[in-house]
Amino acid sequence: MAKVCMLQFLKTILATLIGLILFTAFGAIGITVLIVGATQPEPVAPKVRKKSVLVYDLSLGIQDNTPGTSSRLSDPFSAGDNSASLRAVVKTIQAAAEDEKIVALYLQGGDPSAGGYATLKEVRDALKTFRKSGKPIYAYDSDWSEPEYYLASVADTIALDPIGSLTLDGFSAEVRFYADALEKYGLGMQVVRVGQFKSAVEPYLNNGFSPSNRQQTETLLNSLWQNFLVTLGDYRELNAEQLQAIANNQGILNPTEALNQTLIDQISYPDEIETALKELTGGPEDEPFRQKSLLEYAKTVEEQTKGDSDNQIAVVYLEGSIVNGEGNFGVAGSESIAKLLRKVRKDEDVKAVVLRVNSPGGSATAASIMGREVTLLAETKPLVVSMGDYAASGGYWVSAPARQIFASPGTITGSIGTYGLLPNIQKIANDNGITWDDVKTAPFANSSTIARPKTPQELALNQKTANAIYDRFLEIVAEGRSLPREDIAKVAEGRVWSGISAKSLGLVDELGGLEDAIDAAGGFAELEPGDWNVKEYPRQRSFEEALIAEFFSVLPSSLTQPLAQQNQPLPAPLAEQWNGLQSDLQDLTYLNDPKGVYTRMPFNLEIR
């Protein structure tokens, strides 16, 4: 009895100590949050002096919805200090075109991190709006890559460093294959899939592209590349055939070659461009040209564009791999997205909704949960979908019920198909002395085990599930697009399409960006142009929420950041491949569908 009492006493003491520790920790955090929150000044829009140049650093990271603190564009707890939302970038450039204090725009070259060509297309359109204002655009870099040059091609003056280069060598797609590695280490992989072109499983089965996957990838790349060439010719007075010849015969041009081909306007050092800009802005000779960075100027634009209308158009961002559960930034969780869609559906102030989809898909169950909410929303309010760089497979599933779908020419979409990955560790375990035995009351009682490969009967059951989900996928698309099921089946089979091809096939309605989708939603809601405020979901975290999240971060940044952001001493090509491996492994952690069936486009198709 005494021993029991002593144990109980020790447990009580231990519980009390733990309670005190937790109380102290939470109290410290709470006090810190209150103090920092109270002392944190409200963001003040910086003043813009007359005759200023807007400086757009092309290394600026652009995401659909950057999770900054309060209404700020970026913060130390987001994806980095040098990042902004796509909508903020576009609106800022458009506002600068009308601002009398802004006399020019300077595109300053840097390692591009703005996303895919669908994102770049929306930024480029904003740059075209600026150029139409009559104000000059200058662009300078020491080495122009294709994504950077895609934006710079709008400029009145494109300059290149005397020892620089300009790359125009075409697009390529690279996929990592793991079949030999899995066999070497004794990891078994079985698959089920529906769709001749549903190639997401191929990296685990093959050592290279299958004929059907190569065919669809070539078709996709050619469509994207031809649109790229035509777009470049807008202002450079070069047609697609001339640009193709440059790519075929030169690929990487030195400054003199780029100048002779009229791809650039001058060969200059940075100070020479700055001297030209100084002539526009004036001011003391010993001071640099008068300038305002895009991120700084965006705060001014944000203050000036706040509307007072009671009408709201909600923009809901669905970004990243689709998973079951809550998800997080960059991962679209079924519960969190469904909750947001229900919220805007029931909000009487929300007159229309734009669903911005930038996702390669993922869990079939999660896509179905979100897709149901999209359908209910579309039955209640005008719903328009704006597709970003990717809106494929599960990303297309949730898009299909919308009244109207906008895509960029560079959007990768379609991939209507299903698959399942069924791994087992029997060989690697047996090789290391581990074996299993089992007792069961029915043949399929342990069919979910990874201790052995699936039997033919078990594979048939998994295939039956994949088939049923594929059939439902076709029904969702046919109903949403008001097209016969047999017509959808012809363009499905897991095949991916560019935005241009998808429009010709009836999978999307219009080519355009996020602002086009917002305007269309306002029209469907019968609102006067501009008689609305845009409210974005998920909302940006408050400073206090971000601080708490930082306190409770359990993974060191070295494990969660790409290697390229950690100042590691690896050559760029090697770091790029290592980051790709990390991304592939991370994508595997998102495979949490309870049925083991996924609607996702090919894993990490890297287009360069």
- Tell me which residues are annotated as active site: 198, 393
Containing 476, the helix (H) or strand (E) segment is: helix 456-481
* Residue in this structure with the two tokens 């050619």, named with its chain if needed: 222
3-state helix vs strand vs coil in the chain, percent to 5: 45, 20, 35
Angular region, 482: left φ>0, alpha ψ -120 to 50, beta rest: left
**Torsion over CA: 442, 447, 448, 449 (sign):** positive
Give the span between the Cα atoms of 502 and 444, in whole angstroms: 42
Closest among 291, 243, 280, 290 to 263, alpha carbons compared: 243
Cβ–Cβ under 8 Å, residues 62 and 112: no
Structure token pair of residue 42:
């409200």
For 510, residues 6+ apart whose C-beta sits below 8 A from its C-beta are 404, 405, 406, 407, 503, 516, 520
Q: How many CB atoms lie within 10 A of CB 567?
A: 6
Structure token pair of residue 569:
């001493």
Give the span between the Cα atoms of 121 and 125, in whole angstroms: 6
Cβ–Cβ under 8 Å, residues 508 and 413: yes
3-class SS of residue 506: coil
Q: Is 293 exposed, middle or buried (0-12, 13-18, 19+ CB in 10 A)?
A: middle
